[in-house]
Amino acid sequence: MGITKNKELIESAIKSLKDLTPEENIKITHVCGTHEMTASRFGIRSIIPENIDLIPGPGCPVCVCPSYEIDYAIQLAKQGKIITTFGDMFKVPASRQSLSEMKRLGADIRVVYSPLDSIEIAKRNPSKDVIFFAIGFETSAPMTGAALLSAPPENFFVLSAHRLTVPAMELLLKSEKKKTQGFICPGHVSVMIGTDAYTPFSKKYNMPCVITGFEAIDMLIGLVQIMKMIQNKEPKIINEYQRVVKPEGNTKALQILKEAFEIVDSSWRGIGIVKKSGLAISSQLENHDAKKVFDIVINETVDVQPGCKCPEVMLGNMLPNECKLFQKKCRPDNPIGPCMVSHEGTCAIFSRYGSTDMLKNLK
């Protein structure tokens, strides 16, 4: 639905926000790159009350992938193996170089759209080991799991860098410098995990949560609902995205995750180990687990380059324009940190949409 078509709804939501918002500053956090694209593209921050801080968290799976995982894939490529991955991972800087730089040096590294593409490559190259470098939250992990469970060829392997969303949200509450008072929950992930997965936030943390879609009006309605819960002191989980999100989530996808993976402690780039936040390949499928099959030793890794503030951006403690490197030394054509690479990276989004203000005439 376009901006013009939504004009009356948007004006009504803005008025409601102004009526509901208290005088003190309120921090609302989201953890989805697509939500940040909506917020930045349509200039949502410019039309909501100034004392509402809409802050992005670690909503980009490529950005939170530690250098160690990319270094591992690079070492496999140096051994002559075929590496496949999604386009977002291709240019992410690791300790010393990226996968795209390795490809320029002659390594066989290919961008694919699905792990099934990687399986087809393995079938066409039976004498070569093909490793799918798997990234993503619960949205893309079921695809990887389904590929592993499909009886793939013996020369197909997965290097899993999948991460889980709810532990990241809990991490924010423990690591942030300014307390979050409400979450806009990710729409795509919620399709998979359902609304019930967020119950701990309302029960344990007294945190209002709203699952929203990706139109500007979706986010604005989500903010209104959060403000109502704050005002009434009634934290709960509200599903504004009922057209696609169910309480139980996608049960088939969740069953695939259960069969193909084991939940493990995982490292997040520049942040450290997050308990029960990663998906390792199940021991029953370990003959396709690149980490267990191949003998790779990574002696030293560098997650954060000097001056880069990507970890603070991912933890919701600062916005990209507060980093001294932003749009100066660190640009989309010369990324220093991972947040400037992916289309879901906060720094890349701010760089692309920073001056866009499509809703300003409605303020």
Q: Quick one: pLDDT at residue 7?
A: 82
Q: Quick one: pLDDT at residue 357?
A: 52
Q: Quick one: pLDDT at residue 329?
A: 95
What residues have CB less than 8 Å from 163, skipping those under 6 apart?
61, 64, 65, 136, 137, 266, 268, 277, 278, 279
Q: Quick one: pLDDT at residue 23?
A: 87
Write the CA distances from 144 to 149, 232, 245, 259, 284, integer angstroms: 9, 42, 21, 12, 15
Rounded Cα distance, 140 and 277, in Å: 15
pTM: 0.92
Rounded Cα distance, 345 and 342, in Å: 5
Place of tokens 């918002």: 21
Rounded Cα distance, 152 and 145, in Å: 11
- Residue 28's Cβ-side half-sphere holds a number of Cα atoms within 13 Å equal to 32
Q: What is the pLDDT along the chain (363 residues), one digit of tens a residue?
A: 444 457 888 899 999 999 999 889 999 999 999 999 999 999 999 999 999 999 999 989 999 999 999 999 999 999 999 999 999 999 999 999 999 999 999 999 999 999 999 999 999 999 999 999 999 999 999 999 999 999 999 999 999 999 999 998 998 888 878 899 999 999 999 999 999 999 999 999 999 999 999 999 999 999 999 999 999 999 999 999 999 999 999 999 999 999 999 999 999 999 999 999 999 999 999 999 999 999 898 888 999 999 999 999 999 999 999 999 999 999 999 999 999 998 899 999 999 997 555 455 444
Q: Quick one: pLDDT at residue 350?
A: 95
Cα angle vertex 344, ends 341, 347, to 5°? 55
What residues have CB less than 8 Å from 199, skipping those under 6 apart?
237
Q: Quick one: pLDDT at residue 241?
A: 96
Q: Which residues pair with 82 in a beta bridge?
A: 130
DSSP summary character for residue 282: P
Q: Which domains are delineated in the chain?
A: 7-60+167-239 (3.40.50.11750), 62-164+251-293 (3.40.50.11740)
Locate all alpha helices (DSSP H) within 27-110, ordered by sequence. 33-41, 44-47, 61-64, 67-78, 87-90, 99-104
Q: Quick one: pLDDT at residue 279?
A: 98
Helix (H, G, I), strand (E, B) or coil at 225: helix
